[in-house]
């Protein structure tokens, strides 16, 4: 009786906490079907993923290497986020044709712009291949032996799977190698840019609002996939035809209300659901704070420059977006972990695990070993954080690294390759050197000084040394290096042969880079890092397996690994802090409220204001006559889910996922249903912009709407 009671009690406590957490494998969705339907879903698991018929999965793609997109017409029209299309929009933009600033709308197929290098990947089918992958593997062999066998198995399984097809196949480990799935994919390489709103809309609120709610970003862009005459992937050719997908999404303009069921179908990148207390502590309290500080330095200088003129804004906006994105997320993550007492919670669980494992030879050493390995990892991680966030912060040091590579090359043809690429880079680099060097020099000096004061990098041993002295020394290095003299570097490169390597090695910037590298990431620690990582992975494999044996409920879904997943939940507001309640949706009103012509992120397009003034929202208004812009829900998402379709109970498209609420960004490690919300662009705002704002009715006419 007592046992039953405690299990029940535990279930009561666990159940609400588990609610809505999870990124589920589409092929295994049958397991979730009853739960999804009980929560409001009106379609079946088979409608979402099927091997027998066209299904929703056929409309979902991996966009590029790290975003999601979805087909919305039978002519290969694809929606994704503005920030996912950003680098392609930027690449096609110039000050004369500034599509980033002004938007772009192709009025016909001929006007669509090719995007070389951009791929779109469609999942053909997936398969559990655990048995085949682990064939010949046993618990007693070394990791190296195990890896060898697994790799050989993977090679033959994938080769066989795609034999005689134009597909590619990839096998990924789940639960740290307790399970393996194979993904057979079709990769399209002719993808063209069709439409994008101006940044004032697509990036409204910019990095100020990024990760935040209430949100008003029109974060979408439109592309089209082309195929050969046989509807199969083909390299770009003017003769290619729009791809005809097996399935495209139907759009609902009905919107959703609080508590309505929604699900997200896409490609979440990485989570660490089963991380140990040491891993959580390492991220929240060790590496995040350093990364945040060092990025603050960079952001201050770039933002300052971007506010000076349009050319600098164009130059830096893409890199600032990516620097700021992590910078802000890590702040939310660390705070969230602290709020949840994340480290302590993990420790409590570990105590229970250890008690359970004490009499099990296979598991009893897992956690003690984990602790040892994390202690080693911690110092290596910290060094490598300084390396990537300080040493490689300024272009100056990245160019020094490239120069060092040249100096270390003895093969004549490789020397030519490196040399030519450096010459080309330099031509570009010196075009706006006057302005850029002010920014880059400051970033270099300040990030290095910060590292040095923290006692890292190795080139100044004494932490207490006067910061101005360090700055002066670094400034001198910058000014004296051949890298900052156009004449000097071009002369060196133009006549460079292997015997000039000494000249490069003597350069103060190259010498400094080399010193920092060898101090932070010496060969011995790089080797150790690989070993520790492997060992930790092995321990997690056992840990997760043990957790499952201890209680199947301990292990619900596998961590995200950039494979297709379904997350589901409800539209829901939340209380970010005492006295504040966030409603689950925003409207155009909020854009007008935020308007500030003096702040770049909050400039409102005149045309949008016009539409606001006449309240000309047409079919895109909600029942109250407002124009909805965004909404939040409890779907468990992460980076990579950007651009993922958010679907209603009928499987109809109601929005594009593009972010998470800041207060819940610890969800990669710890999910809290009270705080974790994904942020969705309401499809009605997206279509309103395409239709009413841009007049791109040609695109609207291609779409399929639910009755
Ligand atoms: N936070 C979102 C994501 O992780 C959007 C990032 C792009 N937007 C930006 N303002 N930097 O991808
Ligand atoms: N913007 C993110 C992306 O690129 C999604 C936000 C998140 O991390 O959940 O996928």
pLDDT of residue 685: 98
**Pocket residues for ligand 2 (CB within 6 Å)?**
637-642, 658-660
**Residue to probe by mutation, ligand 1, list 659, 677, 679, most atoms within 8 Å of CB:** 659
End-to-end alpha carbon distance in the chain: 54
pLDDT of residue 597: 96
Which H or E element spans position 614?
Answer: helix 606-614
- Nearest-CA residue for ligand 1 atom 7 is 83
pLDDT of residue 19: 66
pLDDT of residue 459: 65
pLDDT of residue 6: 45
Measured torsion, CA atoms of residues 494, 499, 500, 501, in degrees rounded to the nearest 10: 120
Catalytic residue among 58, 190, 219, 395: 219
pLDDT of residue 5: 45
Q: What's the CA-to-centroid distance between 690 and ligand 1, angstroms?
A: 21
Which H or E element spans position 569?
Answer: strand 565-570
Annotated catalytic residue 436: no
- Nearest-CA residue for ligand 1 atom 6 is 325
CA distance 503 to 633: 59
Annotated catalytic residue 642: yes
Q: Find, among 342, 368, 340, the residue nearest to 543 by Cα.
A: 368
- Nearest-CA residue for ligand 1 atom 5 is 659
The atom of ligand 1 lying closest to the CA of 322 is: 11
**Residue to probe by mutation, ligand 2, list 271, 636, 637, most atoms within 8 Å of CB:** 637
pLDDT of residue 12: 43
Catalytic residue among 93, 334, 481, 642: 642
Q: Tokens 């009853």 sit at which residue? A: 34
CA distance 328 to 581: 22
pLDDT of residue 451: 94
**Residue to probe by mutation, ligand 2, list 660, 679, 681, most atoms within 8 Å of CB:** 660
**pLDDT < 70 stretches in the chain:** 1-19, 459-464
CA distance 526 to 520: 10
Q: What's the CA-to-centroid distance between 680 and ligand 1, angstroms?
A: 13
Q: What's the CA-to-centroid distance between 663 and ligand 2, angstroms?
A: 14
pLDDT of residue 7: 46
Burial 675-700, CB ≥16 within 10 A → b, else e: bbbbbbbbbbbbbbbbbbbbebebbb
SS3 491: helix
pLDDT of residue 458: 75
Annotated catalytic residue 83: yes
Q: What's the CA-to-centroid distance between 173 and ligand 1, angstroms?
A: 28
CA distance 647 to 593: 29
Catalytic residue among 58, 73, 82, 83: 83
């Amino acid at each position: 009786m007592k046992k039953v009671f405690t299990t029940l009690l535990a279930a009561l406590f666990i159940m609400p906490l588990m609610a809505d957490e999870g990124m589920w494998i589409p092929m295994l969705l049958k397991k979730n079907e009853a739960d999804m339907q009980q929560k409001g879903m009106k379609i079946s698991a088979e409608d979402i993923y099927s091997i027998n018929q066209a299904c929703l999965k056929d409309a979902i793609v991996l966009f590029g290497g790290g975003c999601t997109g979805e087909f919305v017409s039978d002519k290969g029209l694809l929606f994704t986020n503005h920030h996912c299309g950003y680098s392609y929009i930027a690449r096609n933009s110039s000050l004369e044709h500034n599509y980033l600033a002004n938007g772009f709308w192709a009025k016909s197929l001929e006007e669509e712009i090719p995007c070389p290098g951009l791929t779109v990947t469609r999942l053909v089918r997936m398969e559990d291949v655990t048995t085949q992958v682990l064939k010949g593997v046993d618990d007693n062999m070394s990791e190296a032996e195990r890896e060898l066998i697994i790799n050989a198995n993977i090679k033959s399984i994938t080769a066989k799977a795609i034999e005689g097809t134009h597909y590619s196949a990839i096998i990924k480990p789940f639960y740290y190698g307790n399970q393996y799935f194979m993904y057979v994919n079709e990769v399209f390489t002719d993808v063209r840019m069709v439409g994008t709103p101006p940044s004032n809309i697509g990036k409204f609120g910019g990095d100020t609002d990024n990760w935040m709610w209430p949100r008003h970003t029109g974060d979408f862009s439109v592309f089209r996939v082309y195929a050969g005459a046989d509807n199969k992937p083909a390299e770009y050719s003017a003769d290619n035809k729009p791809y005809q997908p097996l399935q495209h999404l139907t759009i609902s303009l009905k919107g959703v209300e609080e508590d309505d069921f929604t699900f997200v179908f896409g490609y979440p990148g990485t989570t660490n659901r089963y991380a140990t207390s040491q891993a959580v502590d390492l991220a929240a309290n060790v590496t995040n704070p350093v990364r945040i500080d060092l990025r603050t330095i960079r952001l201050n200088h770039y933002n300052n420059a971007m506010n000076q003129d349009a050319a600098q804004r164009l130059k830096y906006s893409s890199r600032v977006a990516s620097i700021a994105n992590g910078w802000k997320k890590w702040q939310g993550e660390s705070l969230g972990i602290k709020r949840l007492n994340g480290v302590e919670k993990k420790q409590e669980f570990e105590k229970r695990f250890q008690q359970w494992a004490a009499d099990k030879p296979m598991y009893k050493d897992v956690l003690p070993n984990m602790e040892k390995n994390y202690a080693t990892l911690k110092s290596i991680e910290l060094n490598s954080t300084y390396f990537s966030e300080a040493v490689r912060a300024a272009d100056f040091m990245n160019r020094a690294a490239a120069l060092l590579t040249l100096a270390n090359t003895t093969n004549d043809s490789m020397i030519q390759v490196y040399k030519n690429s450096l010459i080309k880079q330099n031509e570009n680099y010196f075009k706006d050197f006057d302005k850029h060097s002010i920014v880059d020099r400051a970033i270099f000096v300040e990030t290095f000084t910060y590292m040095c004061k923290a006692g890292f990098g190795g080139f100044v041993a004494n932490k207490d040394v006067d910061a101005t002295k360090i700055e002066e020394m670094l400034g001198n290095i910058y000014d004296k290096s051949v890298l900052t003299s156009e004449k000097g570097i071009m002369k060196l490169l133009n006549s460079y042969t292997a015997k000039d390597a000494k000249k490069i090695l003597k350069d103060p910037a190259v010498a400094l880079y080399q010193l920092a590298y060898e101090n932070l990431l010496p060969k011995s620690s790089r080797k150790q890092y690989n070993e520790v990582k492997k060992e930790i992975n092995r321990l997690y494999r056992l840990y997760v397996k043990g957790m499952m044996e201890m209680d199947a409920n301990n292990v619900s879904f596998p961590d995200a690994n950039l494979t297709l997943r379904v997350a589901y939940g409800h539209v829901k507001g939340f209380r970010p802090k005492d006295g504040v309640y966030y409603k689950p949706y925003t409207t155009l009103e909020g854009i007008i409220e935020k308007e500030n012509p003096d702040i770049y992120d909050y400039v409102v397009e005149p045309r949008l204001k016009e539409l606001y003034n006449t309240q000309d929202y047409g079919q895109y208004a909600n029942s109250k006559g407002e124009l909805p812009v965004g909404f939040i829900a409890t779907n468990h998402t992460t980076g990579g889910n950007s651009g993922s379709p958010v679907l209603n109970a009928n499987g109809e498209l109601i929005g594009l996922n593009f972010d998470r609420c800041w207060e819940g960004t610890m969800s990669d490690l710890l999910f809290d249903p009270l705080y974790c919300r994904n942020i969705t662009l309401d499809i009605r705002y997206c279509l309103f912009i395409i239709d009413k704002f841009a007049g791109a009715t040609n695109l609207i006419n291609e779409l399929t709407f639910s009755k």
